[in-house]
């Protein structure tokens, strides 16, 4: 560690070059963290999914409903503790430019099944009591500047017309991966206005024991195989995963761009290190003459490269972490709970170290192998 | 007087490694830039191509996509009577009444299923939509037969002619494959509307598409249809409708491309700045000689800017070449307006490549400016000492 003052002195020599290279690494790690977080955020939805919850949807496609009569039959399946049902509503507010999820749920069973959706007891009471009440996520309340008790008009795209709801409750998700921008109202309100001509879009089941999932899914799908609406039953995780795959190959896209970014910056840092080393040939010879060993000189260059890239990484990764958690970025509503995970930070630092090794190794070996006589001969 | 450009080229050749690294940094930025815009481009082109400006698409009033729409048979009959609709082969109106649903079918690779559009059509659809059979034959009226868009064939299981696809509780024989000049229709399953109606959404169509006798008459037709008391419909030009369908995703991809590449570009510019400062520092005596010989400081500035631009230009060309092979690679994503998978190909256009190279040169000029400025302001006496 006695070498550190020398390393810092060297870094201060070309202040501009040092700063630019550091910032280059900072930008690269920032981009890397952002890109990887898109993937981890998309996958987070599948990881927080409860193992004891399952979804039942129409086997043809999720846009087709399931009969209401299935409720009783699902409840009778061994291993099923509770059944809830819901419908996608597809509502728009105002000019319709802001996308948010709107669905109709059976309120009591739904809230019981999702303890992650936290509602103050008095608001929950008010939401359950009133047929046209709505429960809205905190994020959406803030975005539109809504207040509890306010009437809002939602335009239906699937169920045409203007629908007026009174906001009676605000929920806060206890895990970040659950969307805090959803608009939830009572299934009964939908059913009533459409004169009972609708039926649930999907059912959610609570199991008595997560290990029963495979058997329960088999039983249910067999039971309805030859009825008017065949079902597809899957765990919540598989259900969420099917949405992730709908984005196409995001993971591949993000990883390829991330690779390109890292390589581009590798070029910049490696170039800076080589230029630095070339300028110091004479100096290295002098250091060797006064007794610095080859190993020390090797270390000197490697340390310089590491300080450069790690400082850059601290700026870039720290910046990404602070920026995204500070601004509550949610990918224009498509990536609720966007967050830079600890894993991403660790990989980011590993990349920075890798950058240091790759960009430093050539100049470091060259410095260590330098022959004094040869080097000094070039100095005038 | 101008300093000959060959001086810069020779100087670049003097330090090949450093030049190559800087250029490669720029190249990667340009490659990402071109690739991402090619993705957005390909998606948009595929959807835009689906609609023709000569066609009108009619949906239920208030519906933003075909999925949300519903039109009774009676509406189809009323619309078909409009004299402004072009006539087809046997004098029948060139109008296609279609049902639209999204179904799950198993993927060819792996376990999962994916959403695709199942469109129920009649005979007229082939003429109105400009769709041609490339293998097998059309479905026969009254039979459980389907034809598949050619982009579906390699991506999903049981898609060869003669295979059986199972959906909606019935077995459907695949009897043909069709192409639709690269549009999103090639990601769809087509069957007879009369067969699809009873198993899916009942006696309603989702959309009615017709060819105009005179494309300029669109506004007139729109007014007539939307003003008709017996109909609750909205009419749009088919081209505008599909362009609108691509809107959100194209915007997201373009914004993402610009954001990512501008951040990357800043990094690459830093690299260029470092390289050019080092170049100026190592050539201080040379620059002093140039100034002594009588070259104006402005000429020195231009000369070094040209050198930086040349390095970046090399990078730009390399980046464009790196990105070129992705042209035509087919990928897929979900069209969130219809909730179904759309396959499309990356589309690298000459304009895009040119934009990439220009982008590179701009990076070079920005990165080269301050080092060139320093070179131009060099004091001859000090530099030669």
Please give the DSSP secondary-structure letter assigned to residue A145: T
pLDDT at A76 over 60: yes
Size of chain B in residues:
385
Report pLDDT digits (tens) over A121-137: 999 999 999 989 999 99
pLDDT at A380 over 60: no
Average pLDDT in the A180-186 region? 90
> Are B375 and B304 in contact, with CB atoms under 8 Å apart?
yes
DSSP string, B300-359: HHHHHHHHHHHHHHHHHHHHHHHHGGGTT-EEEEEETTTTEEEEEE----HHHHHHHHHH
Long-range contacts of B5-8 (CB under 8 A, 24+ apart): B5/B303, B5/B306, B5/B310, B7/B303, B8/B303, B8/B304, B8/B306, B8/B307, B8/B310
Interchain contact B273–A (C-beta under 8 A): yes
Report pLDDT digits (tens) over A335-349: 777 888 888 999 999
pLDDT of B168 reads 80
Query: Is ipTM strictly over 0.95?
Result: no
Residues in B touching A197 (Cβ below 8 Å):
none
Q: Any alpha helices (H) in chain B, and if so which ranges?
A: 5-14, 16-50, 73-80, 125-128, 193-199, 218-227, 238-282, 284-292, 297-323, 350-376, 380-384
| Inter-chain touch A246–B341, beta carbons under 8 Å | yes
Mutate one of A224, A257, A362 to test the B interface: name it (highest B CB count within 10 A). Answer: A257
Mean pLDDT for all residues in chain A = 85
| Inter-chain touch B266–A27, beta carbons under 8 Å | yes
Residues in A touching B278 (Cβ below 8 Å):
17, 275, 279
What distance in Å separates the CA atoms of residue A320 and residue A314, rounded to the nearest whole number? 10
Nearest to A160 among B39, B62, B341 (CB): B62
What distance in Å separates the CA atoms of residue A285 and residue A373, rounded to the nearest whole number? 8
Quickly tell me which residue has 């319709």 as its tokens.
A96
Give the count of beta carbons closer than 10 Å to the beta carbon of residue A113.
21
What distance in Å separates the CA atoms of residue B246 and residue A80, rounded to the nearest whole number? 42
Closest CA to A167 of A187, A152, A189: A152
Report pLDDT digits (tens) over A206-254: 988 888 888 888 889 888 887 778 888 888 877 777 767 766 677 778 8
pLDDT of A89 reads 86
Can you read off the two tokens belonging to residue A227?
């009825």
Interface of B with A in 186-215 (CB under 8 A): 200
What distance in Å separates the CA atoms of residue B353 and residue B30, rounded to the nearest whole number? 9
What distance in Å separates the CA atoms of residue B92 and residue B64, rounded to the nearest whole number? 29
Give the percent of chain A with pLDDT over 70: 93
* Nearest-neighbour CA in chain B from A77: distance (Å): 23
Interchain contact B168–A (C-beta under 8 A): yes
Residues in A touching B263 (Cβ below 8 Å):
27, 30-31
B263: nearest CA partner in chain A: A27
How big is the CA angle at B144 (ends B99 and B153), to the nearest 5 degrees? 75
| Inter-chain touch B268–A268, beta carbons under 8 Å | yes
| Inter-chain touch A260–B31, beta carbons under 8 Å | yes
* Nearest-neighbour CA in chain A from B62: distance (Å): 7
Interchain contact B327–A (C-beta under 8 A): no
Interchain contact B18–A (C-beta under 8 A): yes
Report pLDDT digits (tens) over A89-116: 888 888 877 878 898 999 999 999 988 8
Mutate one of B114, B170, B271 to test the A interface: name it (highest A CB count within 10 A). Answer: B271
* Nearest-neighbour CA in chain A from B32: distance (Å): 7
Asked whether the CA dihedral B113, B114, B119, B123 is positive or negative, the reply is: negative
| Inter-chain touch A16–B64, beta carbons under 8 Å | no
Chain centroid offset of residue B144 CA: 35
> Are B331 and A248 in contact, with CB atoms under 8 Å apart?
yes
What distance in Å separates the CA atoms of residue A305 and residue A183, rounded to the nearest whole number? 51
* Nearest-neighbour CA in chain A from B84: distance (Å): 30
Nearest to B21 among A230, A246, A267 (CB): A267
> Are B224 and B58 in contact, with CB atoms under 8 Å apart?
no
Report pLDDT digits (tens) over A2-48: 778 888 888 888 888 889 889 989 988 998 898 888 888 877 767 66
3-state secondary structure of A169: strand
3-state secondary structure of B151: coil
> Are A214 and A174 in contact, with CB atoms under 8 Å apart?
no
> Are A344 and A33 in contact, with CB atoms under 8 Å apart?
yes
> Are A333 and A100 in contact, with CB atoms under 8 Å apart?
yes
| Inter-chain touch B115–A270, beta carbons under 8 Å | no
A1 versus A323: the higher-pLDDT residue is: A323
Interchain contact B262–A (C-beta under 8 A): no
Residues in contact with A16: Cβ distance below 8 Å, sequence separation at least 6, in sequence order: B273, B277
In which residue ranges of chain B is pLDDT below 70? Answer: 1, 110-112, 336-338, 385
| Inter-chain touch B25–A268, beta carbons under 8 Å | yes
> Are B241 and B68 in contact, with CB atoms under 8 Å apart?
no
Closest CA to B330 of B14, B43, B30, B94: B43
Residues in A touching B38 (Cβ below 8 Å):
none
pLDDT of A170 reads 94
| Inter-chain touch B169–A257, beta carbons under 8 Å | no
Report pLDDT digits (tens) over B24-67: 888 988 998 998 889 888 888 888 888 888 899 999 887 778 88
What distance in Å separates the CA atoms of residue A108 and residue A124, rounded to the nearest whole number? 9
* Nearest-neighbour CA in chain A from B178: distance (Å): 23
Distances (CA, A) of A205 to A213, A218, A364, B262: 10, 14, 62, 47
Distances (CA, A) of B148 to A108, B97, B119, B186, B334: 45, 19, 10, 7, 18
> How many interchain CB pairs under 8 A, A with B?
139
Q: Any alpha helices (H) in chain A, and if so which ranges?
A: 4-13, 15-47, 70-75, 107-113, 121-129, 138-144, 187-193, 213-223, 236-246, 250-279, 281-289, 294-327, 342-369, 372-378
3-state secondary structure of B120: strand
| Inter-chain touch B277–A17, beta carbons under 8 Å | yes
Residues in B touching A239 (Cβ below 8 Å):
none
Quickly tell me which residue has 């009033």 as its tokens.
B61
Average pLDDT in the A73-80 region? 89
């Amino acid at each position: 560690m006695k070498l550190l003052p020398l390393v810092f002195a060297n870094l201060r020599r070309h202040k501009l070059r040092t700063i630019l290279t550091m910032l280059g690494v900072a930008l690269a790690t920032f981009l890397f963290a952002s890109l990887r977080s898109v993937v981890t955020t998309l996958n987070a939805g599948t990881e927080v999914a409860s193992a004891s919850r399952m979804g039942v949807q129409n086997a043809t496609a999720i846009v087709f409903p399931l009969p209401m009569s299935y409720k009783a039959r699902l409840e009778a399946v061994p291993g099923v503790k509770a059944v809830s049902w819901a419908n996608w509503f597809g509502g728009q507010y105002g000019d319709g430019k802001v996308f948010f999820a709107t669905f109709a749920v059976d309120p009591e069973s739904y809230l019981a099944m999702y303890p992650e959706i936290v509602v103050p007891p008095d608001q929950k009471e008010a939401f359950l009591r009133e047929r046209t009440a709505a429960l809205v996520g905190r994020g959406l309340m803030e975005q539109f500047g809504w207040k509890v008790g306010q009437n809002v008009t939602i335009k239906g795209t699937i169920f045409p017309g203007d629908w007026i709801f009174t906001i009676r409750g605000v929920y806060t998700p206890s895990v970040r991966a659950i969307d805090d921008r959803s608009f939830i109202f009572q299934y009964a309100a939908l059913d009533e206005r459409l004169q009972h001509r609708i039926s649930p879009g999907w059912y959610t089941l609570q199991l008595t024991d997560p290990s029963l999932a495979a058997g329960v899914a088999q039983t249910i799908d067999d039971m309805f195989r030859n009825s008017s609406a065949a079902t597809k039953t899957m765990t919540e995780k598989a259900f969420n995963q099917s949405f992730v795959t709908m984005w196409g190959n995001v993971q591949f896209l993000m990883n390829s761009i991330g690779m390109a970014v890292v390589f581009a910056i590798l070029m910049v840092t490696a170039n800076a290190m080589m230029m630095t080393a070339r300028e110091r040939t004479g100096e290295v010879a002098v250091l060797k003459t006064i007794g610095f060993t080859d190993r020390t000189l090797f270390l000197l260059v490697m340390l310089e490269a590491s300080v450069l890239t790690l400082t850059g990484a601290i700026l870039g990764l720290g910046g990404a972490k602070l920026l995204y958690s500070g601004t509550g970025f949610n990918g224009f509503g498509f990536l609720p709970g966007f967050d830079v995970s600890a894993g991403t930070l660790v990989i980011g630092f590993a990349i920075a170290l890798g950058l240091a090794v790759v960009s430093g190794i050539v100049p470091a070996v060259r410095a260590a192998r330098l022959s004094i006589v040869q080097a000094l001969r070039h100095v005038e | 007087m101008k300093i000959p450009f060959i001086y810069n080229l020779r100087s670049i050749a003097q330090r090949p490694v450093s030049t190559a690294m800087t250029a490669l940094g720029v190249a990667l930025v340009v490659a990402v830039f071109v690739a991402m815009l090619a993705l957005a481009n390909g998606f948009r082109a595929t959807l835009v191509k689906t609609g023709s400006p000569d066609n009108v698409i009619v949906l239920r009033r208030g519906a933003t996509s075909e999925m949300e729409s519903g039109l009774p048979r009676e509406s189809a009959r009323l619309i078909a009577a409009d004299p402004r609709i072009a006539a087809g082969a046997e004098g029948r109106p060139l109008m296609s009444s279609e049902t639209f649903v999204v179904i799950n079918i198993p993927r060819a690779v792996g376990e999962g299923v994916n959403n695709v559009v199942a469109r129920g059509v009649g005979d007229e659809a082939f003429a109105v939509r400009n769709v041609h059979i490339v293998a097998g034959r059309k479905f026969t009226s009254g039979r459980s037969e389907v034809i598949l868009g050619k982009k579906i064939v390699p991506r999903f299981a049981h898609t060869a002619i003669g295979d059986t696809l199972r959906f909606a509780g019935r077995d459907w024989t695949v009897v043909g494959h069709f192409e639709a000049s690269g549009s999103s229709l090639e990601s769809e399953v087509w069957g007879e509307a009369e067969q699809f109606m009873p198993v899916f959404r009942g006696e309603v169509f989702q959309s009615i598409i017709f060819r105009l006798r005179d494309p300029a008459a669109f506004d007139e037709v729109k007014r007539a249809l939307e003003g008709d008391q017996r109909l609750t419909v909205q009419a749009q030009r088919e081209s505008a409708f599909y362009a609108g369908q691509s809107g959100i995703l194209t915007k997201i991809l373009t914004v993402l491309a610009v954001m990512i590449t501008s951040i990357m570009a800043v990094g690459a510019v830093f690299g260029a700045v470092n390289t050019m400062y080092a170049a100026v520092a190592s050539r201080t005596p040379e620059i002093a000689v140039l100034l002594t010989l009588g070259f104006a400081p402005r000429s020195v500035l231009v000369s070094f800017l040209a050198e930086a631009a040349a390095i970046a230009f090399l990078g730009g060309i390399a980046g464009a070449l790196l990105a070129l092979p992705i042209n035509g690679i087919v990928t897929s994503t979900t069209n969130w307006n219809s909730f179904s998978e759309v396959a499309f190909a990356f589309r690298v256009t000459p304009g895009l490549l040119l934009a990439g190279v220009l982008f590179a040169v701009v990076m070079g000029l920005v990165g080269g400016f301050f080092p060139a400025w320093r070179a131009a302001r060099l004091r001859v006496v000090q530099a030669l000492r």
